[in-house]
Chain A
Amino acid sequence: MTNRQFNFSLTVGIALAIVGAFILSQAAVGLSLIALGLGIAALAVVTRFSSKDSAGERAAARVKPSRDDQAGYRSGALTE
Chain B
Amino acid sequence: MDVGIAFFLLGIVAALARTDIQFPKALYQTLILYLLLAIGLKGGIALAEHASWEILGQSALVISLGLILPLIAFPVLYHLGGLERYDAASIAAHYGSVSVGTYAVAVAVLEAQGIDYEAYLPLFVVLLEMPAIAVGITLARRAQAKASSREDTVKLLHEVFLNQGVVLMVGGLVVGLVAGERVAAVAPLFFDLFPGVLALFLLQMGMVAANCVKDIRRLGSFMLAFGVAMPMVGGFLGCLLGLAIGLSSGGAILLAVLGASASYIAVPAAMQLALPQANHSLSISASLGITFPFNILIGIPTYMVITQSLTGQVL
Contact = CB atoms under 8 A, between A and B. Distances in A.
Contact of B220 (A23, A28, A47): A47
Contacts of B221: 1, 5, 9, 40, 43-44, 47
A16 B236 CA distance: 13
Interface residues of chain B: helix, strand, loop or mixed (majority): helix
Contacts of A71: none
Contacts of B298: 29, 32-33, 36
Contacts of A36: 228, 294, 298
Interface in A1-29: 1-2, 4-5, 7-9, 12-13, 15-16, 19, 23, 25-26, 28-29
Given A5-B80, A5-B82, A47-B220, A12 B225 contact: yes
A7 to B, nearest CB: 8
A53 to B, nearest CB: 16
B79 interface: yes
Interface size class of B (residues with CB under 8 A): 20 to 34
B228 A12 contact: yes
A4 B294 CA distance: 24
Contacts of A26: 301, 305
B69 interface: no
Interface string B276-312: 0000000000000000001001100110011001000
A74 B220 CA distance: 44
Contacts of A1: 220-222
Contacts of A9: 221-222, 224-225
Interface string B233-270: 00000000000000000000000000000000000000
B196 interface: no
B232 interface: yes
Given A28-B301, A29-B301, A47-B220, A4 B80 contact: yes
Interface string A29-73: 100110010001001100100000000000000000000000000
B286 to A, nearest CB: 14
B301 to A, nearest CB: 5
Contacts of A16: 228-229, 232
Interface string B9-33: 0000000000000000000000000
Contacts of A23: 302, 305-306, 309
Contacts of A19: 232, 302
A65 to B, nearest CB: 34
Contacts of B228: 12, 16, 36, 40
What are the 8 closest A-B residue pairs judged by CB atoms, nearest first? A12-B225, A5-B222, A9-B225, A43-B221, A44-B221, A9-B221, A12-B229, A29-B301
Interface of A: 1-2, 4-5, 7-9, 12-13, 15-16, 19, 23, 25-26, 28-29, 32-33, 36, 40, 43-44, 47
Given A33-B302, A44-B225, 14 more contacts: A1-B221, A1-B222, A4-B79, A8-B81, A12-B225, A19-B232, A25-B305, A26-B301, A32-B298, A36-B228, A36-B294, A40-B221, A40-B225, A43-B224
